[in-house]
Amino acid sequence: MTLLDHVPSEAQLRRSAYRRRQTVYSVLVAASSTAALGTLLVIAVTGAPGWDRVRRSFLDPEIARDALPTVLSGLWLNVRLLVCCAVGALLLGLVIAVLRTLRGPVFFPVRALAAGYTYTFRGLPLIIVLYLLTLGVPGLRLQGMPPVLVLGGIALVLTYGGYLAEVFRAGIESVHSSQLAAARSLGLTYRQTMRHVVLPQAVRRVAPPLLNDVVALQKDVGLVSLAGPIDAVRAAQIATAQTFNYTPYVVAGVLFVLLAIPLIAVTDWVTLRAARRQSGG
């Protein structure tokens, strides 16, 4: 009898049927509990004494429809800023992580500077960095001063570069030293060892936390509106000042959530894949 002629036994068929029933049962229980909880939340919120006032101030459909085009136009600025800042922060974090892992006493000043950078920008609140770069630096009146939007992007890159540098460093140090010794014994230089042996493994191992930081950056790009650029948050603020209604802020929040969903889904998929790889599944 070949593998193609294999017929599952009666016990296997019973187990498969039982698993299917359990799956259906689990889905029904999850859907029922979710519906029950959602119903309770809706009743609790809509039954509150001040619900009508909150609904008029935050959930006005006409104001939301009027504010959507301008907020959506501002969101395009957030998307472009996110892409540029994410690439810049990843590259900066990788460089700082490599500098912090250099060995030898001659590289101590480099390691000290890299460590000082990570300590400083991981400790500074992002909003303070934004104010210093977007309000303080232009006051120097230097020639060739970049626009405020670029300065705000630099503040985001510097801040998140500190976080990402520690993530990259953790990945680099997780690679066993025997792999470095084996690569050097094969004649690879330190640069070739880092490029072909260490960094590919390090980046793969820390991909989930890297993507989590990118998701956090996606939210914080909205803080650049504090410096004046008209992004989604600033557009919502202008619309709110015109209508004395906070619905545009809710519109901006919903758009940010929709923007984050693909990133979160990719992060969850990469995390699950990494867990399966580690467990050998």
CB count, 10 Å around CB of 163? 20
How is residue 178 written in tokens? 């025997």
Residue 160 phi, psi (nearest 5):
-75, -25
Q: What percent of the chain has pLDDT over 90?
A: 46
CA distances from 84 to 29, 50, 123, 124, 180 (A): 44, 43, 23, 22, 33
Q: Which DSSP letter does residue 175 get? A: S
Q: Are the beta carbons of 232 and 274 closer than 8 angstroms? A: no
163 has pLDDT over 80: yes
Amino acid letter at 270? V
174 has pLDDT over 60: yes
Mean pLDDT across the stretch 153-177? 92
Identify the pLDDT of residue 269: 86
281 has pLDDT over 80: no
How is residue 241 written in tokens? 């000042």
CA dist 228 and 224 (Å) reads 7
Closest CA to 92 of 182, 146, 161: 161
Amino acid letter at 212? N
Expressed in angstroms, the distance from the first to the final Cα of the chain is 29
The torsion of the CA quartet 77, 82, 85, 86, rounded to 10 degrees, works out to -160
b/e for 69-78, b at 16 or more Cβ within 10 A?
Answer: ebbeebbebb
Identify the pLDDT of residue 13: 83
pLDDT in tens, 36-78: 998 998 888 888 888 888 888 898 999 999 999 999 999 999 9
pLDDT in tens, 3-18: 555 677 888 888 888 8
CA dist 59 and 117 (Å) reads 44
Find where tokens 């460089």 sit: 95
Q: Are the beta carbons of 225 and 231 closer than 8 angstroms? A: yes
How is residue 28 written in tokens? 């029904």
Question: What 3-state class would DSSP assign to 228?
Answer: coil
How is residue 11 written in tokens? 């016990």
CB count, 10 Å around CB of 152? 26
pLDDT in tens, 219-239: 899 999 888 888 899 999 999
In which band, very low, low, confident or very high, does the pLDDT at 1 lie, cut at 50, 70 and 90? very low
| Cα radius of gyration (the chain) | 26
How is residue 121 written in tokens? 């920008």
More confident residue, 186 or 4: 186
Q: HSE of 8 in the Cβ direction (CA atoms, 13 Å)?
A: 8
CATH number, domain 61-279: 1.10.3720.10
2 has pLDDT over 80: no
Residue spans per domain, the chain: 61-279
Closest CA to 100 of 83, 85, 118, 82: 118
Amino acid letter at 274? A
